[in-house]
Amino acid sequence: MTSALYAWEPYIQAFVELSDVPVTKPSIRPGPLAGLTVGVKDIIDVAGLPTRNGSAVCADAMPAEHDAVVVERLRAAGAQIVGKTTTTEFAFTDPTPCHNPHDLSRSPGGSSSGSGAAVGAGVVDIALGTQTAGSLIRPAAYCGAVGFKPSAGLFPMGGVTPLARSFDTVGIIARDVSLGQRAARVLAPAATMGALNAPRVACGLWDTKAEVSPDWLQALDDARGALGTLSGVTEIVLPADVGSVVSAHRCVMCAEAFAAHHALLDDKAQMLKPNFRAGMEAGRDLDKTTLSEARTLLTGARTAFWDAMRGTDLILTLPVPDGAPLIDGTTGFQDWLTPWTVFGGPLVCLPWGIDTLLRPRSVMLAAHPGQDLFLLEMAARLEHHAPRLSAPRLPR
């Protein structure tokens, strides 16, 4: 694992800080994650390493005194922390220097850029990321990894730098679903399994103007056929006004980002990257009525969505409409993921072969809030039917 990490790192720039403990040293702690290596997004505290939040304003940060709760639980289960992975500034949307291991000219996504790239390159088994809009599932999808965003509130947030507390969620990027299941049981030991007998499955996309790649539509169709061997599948159009939800989400996100980090605009604004600074300024300038209306809209949309899904246990969809974009100053398309984050249920994205441009494809499963272990088990069953995704090759 050490040789792979050091071979890949000059190309993908997935890490901003490495642990002092050699990765080749066996874990001295027994446990369900013994021997597994973990990367940690650099907004999550790791004792002995600085948390710089992907920002120049934190360049001189002192090492954290304590692990974040999620890191503490992984260590206690025997996992070995390799280091801190690259993140966009304060988990917002400014791109990072990180590259996609499957094609170095393409974005790994964001904001959990390094976590997706590190797992996608095979240099760690698991990585922690966070999602406030699409920040965990998208890098996993673009980099050919499994991504698991749990139900809102399932994983503890202590020791994690906030962006927007109403939406911030720690999640897992892993080489396969089995590793995601093992890590999830460690991070949420009280979670319980729902019934698996003949789950009611729906398949569909949001009704938006996004142009969907034929390759990705084929992946969805193939996954639907595979799920059909496990359970009946009903075709639907996902019931939400995505544009309204995305707009309201941005209002709340920017307002909460400003509330958490307003001091940065007072004396360090010139050090902030443009997207994060603009988001903070938008949050500062937002009037109370608009913010209240945005919160009300999101609450209503969440209730209406799950009411409409009352007869469905599992939803099959796509996380994004196309593969990883060329590095172009963005972190990719996230509008399809934002409603899912707002609605608070668990998500799993699965690699599903490659498209005609040799980019990883991905499909996604969603379930009702609280049905995390059920969702992971169904993802494990679907994974058996997924076309193989070859490991990326080091440049020569």
The pLDDT value recorded for residue 30 is: 85
| Helix extents (H) in 234-371 | 242-261, 263-267, 274-285, 288-308, 337-343
Q: Which residues of the chain have pLDDT under 70?
A: 1-2, 21-28, 194-196
Catalytic site residue 113?
no
The pLDDT value recorded for residue 353 is: 98
The pLDDT value recorded for residue 24 is: 54
Rg (CA), the chain: 20
Domain residue ranges of the chain, discontinuous segments joined by + = 2-192, 242-304
The pLDDT value recorded for residue 26 is: 57
DSSP state of 19: -
| Catalytic member of 55, 111, 112, 151 | 111
| Catalytic member of 19, 55, 115, 135 | 135
pTM of the model: 0.97
Distance of CA 217 to the CA centre of its chain: 22
Catalytic site residue 111?
yes
Measured over the CA atoms of residue 360, residue 364, residue 223 and residue 121, the dihedral's sign is: positive
Is 3.90.1300.10 the CATH classification of the domain at 2-192? yes
| Catalytic member of 41, 84, 149, 273 | 41
CB atoms within 10 A of CB 190: 6
Catalytic site residue 288?
no
Encode pLDDT of 42-79 as tens digits: 999 999 999 999 999 999 999 999 999 999 999 999 99
Instruction: Confirm if 41 and 85 have CB atoms less than 8 A apart.
Output: yes
Encode pLDDT of 113-150 as tens digits: 999 999 999 999 999 999 999 999 999 999 999 999 99
